[in-house]
Amino acid sequence: MPAIPEFLLRKLYLPGSLQSTPEGFSFVIKNTFAPASIEGFQLAVDDQDIPLEAVTLRLEGQPDPTPAHWVSASTPFSLPVNVALTVSVASHPAGNGRLRIRVHTHEAGLLDFTLQASGSAPAAAAAAAPRRFALRLPRFLQRPMQVEASVDADQVIGPIHPHVYGHFIEHLENCIYGGIWNEDGSALRPDTLRLIRDLRPSVIRYPGGNFASGYHWEDGIGPRSQRPARFDPAWQSHESNQVGTDEFMEFCAQVGAEPFLVVNDGSGTPEEAARWVAYCNEPPTGEQGRRRAANGHPQPYNVRLWGVGNEVWGQWQVGHTSAEEYAERLNAFAAAMRAADPNIQIVAVGDKVLSDQANDPGRLWNETVLSRCADQIDYLSFHLYQPDQSGWQESYDPDALHHIVCAAPLDAEVIIQRIASQIQRAAPRRKIQIAFDEWNLWLTPPPGASSMHKLNYNLRDALYVAGMLNVFQRQCKTLTLANLAQMVNVLPLIVTNERKSYATPLYYPFWMAQNMEKLALRVEMKKVPTYSTQALGNIAALSNVPYLDIAATRDEARSRLVLSFINRHPAKRAHINVNFEHFSSLKASKAWVLNAPNPSLVNSFDEPHAVRSREIELTKTRARGHIRLDLPPASLSVMLLTADE
């Protein structure tokens, strides 16, 4: 996990909580970022170190404090999310209230930050005032961009696998309980279910994520009253196990999605994973098939996609290990799982390759896994959250951020191409595909967010998602599985509270992508205005970024052509002329647009439809070899053209 910016660490301190007493002083910090395991705690006041014997830590609801000198790697102190931690200091005054806190965590390494707990606030705090996005030009200055493009029916890239439009759900915060299911997990929520059904998801990954590395699937089957509650070591939370394998399979059946399960290679065993495969896929005559039938599901689920582990290259992961040790584990798991069902497809843990350097950490990890396991796997996965924590800032220039976010999918496309080249070199005779099984835009959480996963996505961010889907279509020869993280309440596509739910702007590019056809076509563009961006976090600096992005798809019969247009410009319209080659006569049949008065608009419970797609009224005229379109600023447009019979 990248270093957490200090401006966020300072926000852990609860303002006004510094209390001086005759015996010393105390203050409160509240973690709204992510669960942490503290392996060491140091405190200084006005540049003077406080002896650990004088410091105690007490979580809200905990009867007795923990002496800070007891905390170590062998006896860590768990710091959950949204629970107040009182730090008390004996026999030392608070002085001027200038505190330096150094916390050694298992997940993120050293967290080192300074704060002014009394007196005036640091200057940095005043700099966090939100900045308005004000890019709309007067009409007389809004000269539209003029663009030429051509689409040739013969220029086929390849078939698009429907799994590139996939999703991901995890036992994390209120994604499962209170999100897709009700709070106790006894039933699916009708409102959330309706939104997901309308999306027609192709594949859904489960149960994690980090959660998978500590999850034992047998805790989540059988009569619910007999299922054991467990402590989840990944997210340091209570897990009731009221939602498990059979409930997830029922959910997939209800929304028409293929299941994608991730086995626990962190604290689990190959034998446990093999039993899970058998439970899902064995006929009811086998040992695990009988077990499934006894739980009310005699027919096999026939789960084909199985991930072995999750992000085990990361120190925060249960079962964190080296590439060499993971490869050994992977081979053992794959052999045991295929003995239960030889027809399953194995997804191996890979890593993102952020540079062309030979010593890039992701490159080295992938090379080791491919060299030792290529014969055992069907997919090599990677995860990418842009710009990651290294790109989080207390405030951004809105115009610069808009351009960086909208260009970021092009950087992801380069990463996909790097991994595809690695696979081709390492296993040219094996058709190993890429699984991009966690991805999303992840900017700084807004003020007041209850965790790092609570973001308010806007129209700009929807254009990022649309750009990623266009990338997936272009890279369809090597990328055949992708999963947005996550579907509900966590970096959310859908947001719920106790009573209702709404779709965020990220939802609509997926909804519009349902109209895309099966074959991806090359698109040529001319006279496209471009721009350049600076690097932000793990997003590289980019130059010659076209303001327009176009994806084209057709059916086998050449009777349907579907075009996806992204106008990245925040203020200018685009007039585009698209020429068609080797198609029969086409006519514009349907079109949809996603836009809003301002790219920074968000949806909310009060205004759930501030940003949403809508169908456009069309005059059904022949395209006659070309079509002219007017694309609004900061918009996604999808058009269906059909044969004019």
Largest Cα span, the chain: 90
Q: Is it the case that residue 117 has pLDDT exceeding 90?
A: no
Q: Are residues 254 and 314 in the same domain?
A: yes
pLDDT tens by residue, 138-164: 544 568 999 999 999 999 999 999 999
**What is the residue-wise DSSP string for 347-408?**
EE------SS-TT-HHHHHHHHHHHHHGGG-SEEEEEEEES-GGG--SS--HHHHHHHHHHH
Identify any residues that bridge with 546 across adjacent strands, giving them in sequence order. 530
Query: Mind listing the pLDDT tens digit for each residue in 403-419?
Result: 999 999 999 999 999 99
CA distance 326 to 380: 13
Look at strands 98-105 and 109-116 and give their pairing.
antiparallel
The pLDDT value recorded for residue 622 is 58
Q: Which residue has the higher pLDDT, 366 or 71?
A: 366
> Is the domain of 475 the same as that of 616?
no
Q: What is the pLDDT of residue 37?
A: 85
- Whether residue 288 sits in one domain with residue 252: yes
- CATH number of the domain enclosing 90: 2.60.40
**Is the same domain home to 462 and 558?**
no
pLDDT in tens, 448-474: 888 999 999 999 999 999 999 999 999
Identify the pLDDT of residue 98. 82
1 domain residue, yes or no = no
In angstroms, the CA 7 to CA 33 distance is 12
Q: In angstroms, rounded to a whole number, what is the distance separating the alpha carbons of residues 549 and 468?
A: 11
Q: Which of 480, 515, 550 represents a domain boundary (last residue)?
A: 515
Residue 5 binned pLDDT confidence (cut-offs 50, 70, 90):
confident
pLDDT band of 129, cuts 50, 70, 90: very low
pLDDT at 536 (0 to 100) = 97
Residue-range definition of the domain harbouring residue 82: 6-126
Q: State which of 471, 494, 515 marks the end of a domain.
A: 515
The pLDDT, as a whole number, for residue 362 is 96
CATH number at residue 424: 3.20.20.80
- Does residue 132 sit within a domain? no
pLDDT value at residue 124? 39
Residue with structure tokens 């996550």? 486
| Residue 8 scores a pLDDT above 60 | yes
Is there a single domain that holds both residue 36 and residue 76? yes
Residue 120 has pLDDT above 50, yes or no: no
Q: Do 437 and 564 reside in the same domain of the chain?
A: no
The pLDDT of residue 185 is: 96
Residue 134 inside a domain? The answer is: no
Residue-wise DSSP of 547-561: SEEEEEEE-TTS-EE
Q: 244 with 296: CB under 8 angstroms?
A: no
- 463 in the same domain as 555: no
Residue 50 lies in a domain: yes
Q: Do 458 and 552 have their domain in common? A: no
Rounded-to-integer distance, Cα 490 and Cα 472, Å = 22
Residue 428 CB neighbour total at 10 angstroms:
10
Per the domain annotation, does 497 fall within a domain? Answer: yes
160, part of any domain: no
Are 334 and 185 part of one and the same domain? Answer: yes
- Answer with the one of 498, 515, 532 that is the final residue of a domain: 515
- Over 50: is that where the pLDDT of 126 sits? no
Residue 159 counted as domain residue: no
- Same structural domain for residues 381 and 472? yes
Indicate if 596 and 494 belong to the same structural domain: no
Give the pLDDT confidence score for residue 150 in this predicted structure. 95
If DSSP codes are grouped into helix, strand and coil, which group holds residue 165?
A: helix
Classify residue 131: in a domain, yes or no.
Answer: no
pLDDT per position as a tens digit, 530-584: 999 999 999 999 999 999 999 999 999 999 999 999 999 999 999 999 999 999 8
Q: Give dist(CA 629, CA 640) in Å, integer.
A: 13
- The CATH number of the domain holding residue 622 is 2.60.40.1180
Residue 477: the pLDDT is 96
Answer yes or no: do 498 and 563 share one domain.
Answer: no
State how many domains the chain has: 3
CA distance 33 to 53: 28
